[in-house]
Amino acid sequence: MLVNLTTSATYEGLFGDPELAALLDGKSEIGAMLEVERALARVQGRLGVIPEAAAEGIDEHLACIDLEPEDLRQRTAADGVPVPALLDIVRACIPEDAADWLHWGATSQDIADTAMVLQLRACLDLLEGRLAGVIDDLKAKSHTHEDLVMAARTRGQVATPITFGLKLARWAQPLIDAEAALPAVRVHALRVQFGGAAGANTAIAPYGPSISETLAAELDLADSPPWHTARGGILEAAGWLASVVAGLSKFGSDLILLGRSEIGEVRAGDGGGSSTMPQKANPVAAEAVFTLGRLATSLHGGLLAAAAPAEERDGAAWALEWILLPQLLLACGAALRHARALADSLIPNPEAMRRTLDAQPGSMAEAASFALARECSRSEAKALVRAALSAPEGFAAALAEKVPAVDWDSVLDPASVVPASHAEAERIWATRR
């Protein structure tokens, strides 16, 4: 048992994401906090809130400071937030006449929240590219296999035929929705935080709103009233991350089912070995995506709990975000990484798909019922189909004997679903802007 599987050398390949983790480590957090302090000083200098020379001194000296997370460990444990320790170290490194103006009018949460948003933005940039890659791969495979017929399954049972091209489009559908939703998520989540001690900017009134607006522009973030206790933007980002992983989890779950030994209709990824059964090729990557989906659901629930802070600021609920949001980002990153590899390596087995349909003549029962409904009442049509399904001479022969006027070769041909499946797949792809 390990403290954190996402950063474990043993499990990182399954549940971690080194590229994303580098954007969320201690050095990255410190760099983001320093970036916010520098931007705040520059903005306040331009607005005349602090002396311009002090602003230039702060910006210049903070650009050269190199801190390690260990430098903040002891004070963070005492203060409950790393910003006071950071400020004490930084003030000792810059001239006194500039140090007095550092962090002017801000509170620790202003710096920490805005730094978190900068890190979140970098993560979303990375995730957006990966998401597009998964969708692109699924779209290419969908067009390649647009005429390949397979059995649809509903509630654990073979239903009617569809095309594998439509199946691929449906795997992409929630991901396309998430891709389309991301710009709005960015607007709501990537906001500057500047409210001062109690969110009213009283210490620097009446400059608070102008500082916030200018700081937002300086950092290329959206401006916002202070949101110390209004965590909707973070919740929106968390919901988006959870929705991406949920869509990927459905993809992984379906691959596990379609790759079962007795089904074998789709193969994706390199199978993992068993310690005792050499014949097995376990669907490790698909399983990991499924697991990450369940993890993301739990993390999202925790962030919902963190979104009800007490009073004007609340360190207890706030700290939950520090713990859970990075884990949710890593879960999304790892799931996308696995999904990209699965989508790229995905290979259907047309023979197995055909065997499934041949073994389930009832998969064309719906088509038969609708064809018969043109010759008789719908209730009579259903009764005829039910009788034909259990007829000793076989489904097709029984139908041909009862109603010879119908072209049963065409009606019962699974390939008859190709045009409709293709049309629905294209409707899905057309939703992608």
Residue-wise pLDDT tens for the chain (433 aa)?
777 877 888 888 899 999 999 999 999 999 999 999 999 999 999 999 999 999 999 999 999 999 999 999 999 999 999 999 999 999 999 999 999 999 999 999 999 999 999 999 999 999 999 999 999 999 999 999 999 999 999 999 999 999 999 999 999 999 999 999 999 999 999 999 999 999 999 999 999 999 999 999 999 999 999 999 999 999 999 999 999 999 999 999 999 999 999 999 999 877 544 444 434 457 889 999 999 999 999 999 999 999 999 898 998 999 999 999 999 999 999 999 999 999 999 999 999 999 999 999 888 888 888 988 887 888 888 888 888 888 888 888 888 888 888 888 888 899 999 999 999 999 999 999 7
> Is there a single domain that holds both residue 23 and residue 100?
yes
CB 234 within 8 A of CB 309: no
> Is there a single domain that holds both residue 163 and residue 122?
yes
> Is there a single domain that holds both residue 379 and residue 414?
yes
Tell whether 355 is covered by a domain: no
> Is there a single domain that holds both residue 259 and residue 287?
yes
The whole-angstrom separation of Cα 324 and Cα 330 is: 10
Determine the pLDDT at residue 382: 86
Determine the pLDDT at residue 163: 98
The whole-angstrom separation of Cα 375 and Cα 370 is: 9
CB 50 within 8 A of CB 82: no
Tell whether 136 is covered by a domain: yes
Angle at 249 between CA 332 and CA 137, to 5 degrees: 80
- Domain membership of residue 409 as a residue range: 360-430
Q: How many domains does the chain have?
A: 2
Record the pTM: 0.93
> Is there a single domain that holds both residue 213 and residue 256?
yes
> Is there a single domain that holds both residue 331 and residue 403?
no
Could you tell me the CATH number of the domain that includes residue 82?
1.20.200.10
Task: Give the pair of three-digit tokens for residue 117.
Answer: 């948003």
The whole-angstrom separation of Cα 251 and Cα 117 is: 30
Contacts 24+ apart (CB under 8 A), 205-209: 207/47, 207/49, 207/105, 208/105
> Is there a single domain that holds both residue 250 and residue 118?
yes
